[in-house]
Structure 1
Amino acid sequence: MRRIDYDRELHENYARGRALTGRQLQVWIDAFAAVLPGRRPLTGLDVGSGTGRFTPALASAFGPVIGIEPSVRMREVAEARPGVRYLDGRAEDLPVPAASADYALMFLSWHHVADKPQAVHELARVLRPGGRLLLRANFSDHHPRPWWLDHFPRAHEVETALFQPLHEVIAMFTANGWRVTDFTTVTEPSSGTRRDMLDRLRLRSLSFFAHLTPDEQEAGFRSLERAVAEDPDAPAPVFAEPLLTLERG
């Protein structure tokens, strides 16, 4: 599967298309708090921070945090909101000292990592002993399957190719001294109506769309539009999203 260049695509609409409501954001912060140490402050890294949709909330809830993002344009959007430091970097090459963080969050960025074994070592380098990695990733065998996905041709083929199975991810980490401390699912509150969700999907801010042809996208949106038209003001269905927590040895 091709890599997404966020400096050339997706960055313009990412913040709008992937925005979280206050209730949704609080649900995630509560989920992170449940698997992190109870002491405060905690020093954190938001790896693959994108436009910073989580970074300021992490800082408010837990303590100082640095957003790590390779895309210049995504960082520019994030830096428009003051109060958080963002650095150029990626999971394989984190621009922070060894043993300098209590936790790292990777929220839907693991599948973008080109050299995953190197990222496993690099994440271990920057976390203190006992530090936690919060990995919100889609896994090919534990996929949340959002309600709109079935309307797009080759959707399941694309998703299977994009994501590793859960056991493969766990094995990669545990073979290098990490241990699993938690695996759970988190259900976000609805983001609005089905019509609202269709409008956001039209922004094509999900990397999934970049792996479909224009014809496949067009056919999928026609199908989805017909389905939404049947009850456009109904709440957008919710689904459970996996969260894997690993501890550095």
Structure 2
Amino acid sequence: MRSIDYDTEQHQDYARGRALTQQQLQVWIGAFAEALPERRPLAGLDVGSGTGRFTPALAGAFGPVVGVEPSDRMREVAQTRSPHPGVRYLPGTAEEMPVPSDSADYALLGWSWHHVQDKPRAVRELARVLRTGGRLLLRTNFSDHHPRPWWLEYFRRGYEADAAIFQPLHEVIALFTSAGWRVTGFGTVTESSAGTRGEMLARLRLRTLSFFAQLSPDELQTGFDRLEQAVAADPDAPAPEFAEPLLTLELC
């Protein structure tokens, strides 16, 4: 996977390109609530918090949250776009977080695990910052459990190139369980429609998905030409729902 420098490439458009509807956000918060302990408040970490898509909602639902994000520009956007009294944004990575040991009840890695460079080190760091019994919400795709969004078929090598970004499920599970974690849940969360196909196309044009960085300029141009033609036939049709994986682990 080609790495992405969010300070130079995507920070300006990321919030718009990856925007969630209020209904989509509530679906995910509900799924996270089912995977977490019932007591409140819970101290949380949003690891790879980006522009704060989830961080304020996590704080509102569960308690204070620290957003850990390596990109200075992404943190700037988060702090100005979605301030919340229960949120702090700090520079850091999954491999090195500027928070005390045993200080969090849960951590969310939402759409960020594929960016982690040293995964074994990140597993150890997550074990350091979470309390015993702490939960990890790992929202990522897996090469063998791929949600296959509707628009991907219009790009040559679309499914292949996107799946190659991610690890297979068994590999991720083995990495954590060999380090003293246990799986507490795995399933899919059905994300409601993101609006019309035309609205979705407008966000895709911003190219804020890691997938787009893996294709050549010719592949991108051809894919978008095909997608634009398909959407033009009925731009007001609702974008389909689709189910995305969520793996939950507990620190033993």
Q: CA deviation at 1:156?
A: 2.4
Aligned pairs (5 A) from 1:93-242: 93-242=96-245
Residues 126-184 of structure 1, C-alpha deviations (whole Å, 9 max, x = no match): 00000000000000000101000011122223223210000000000000000000001
Q: CA deviation at 1:99?
A: 0.5
Q: Which runs of 5+ in 2 are unaligned?
A: none
SS of equivalent to 2:14: helix
Residue 141 of structure 1 aligns with an amino acid whose one-letter code is D
Separation (CA, whole Å) in 1 of partners of 2:12 and 2:154: 25
Q: CA deviation at 1:82?
A: 2.3
Separation (CA, whole Å) in 2 of partners of 1:119 and 1:155: 29
User: Is the Cα–Cα contact under 8 Å of residues 146 and 163 in structure 2 kept in the other structure?
Assistant: no
Paired residue total:
249
Q: Which runs of 5+ in 1 are unaligned?
A: none
State the Cα RMSD in Å.
Answer: 0.8
TM-score between both structures, scaled by the size of structure 1: 0.98
What percentage of aligned pairs have identical amino acids? 73
Residues 30-60 of structure 1, C-alpha deviations (whole Å, 9 max, x = no match): 0000010000000000000000010000000
Q: CA deviation at 1:79?
A: 0.6
Q: CA deviation at 1:232?
A: 1.3
SS of equivalent to 1:148: helix
TM-score between both structures, scaled by the size of structure 2: 0.97
Give the corresponding residue for 1:72: 72
Give the corresponding residue for 1:60: 60
Could you tell which deviates more after superposition, 185-194 or 110-119?
A: 185-194
Give the corresponding residue for 1:42: 42
Give the corresponding residue for 2:10: 10
Q: CA deviation at 1:221?
A: 0.6
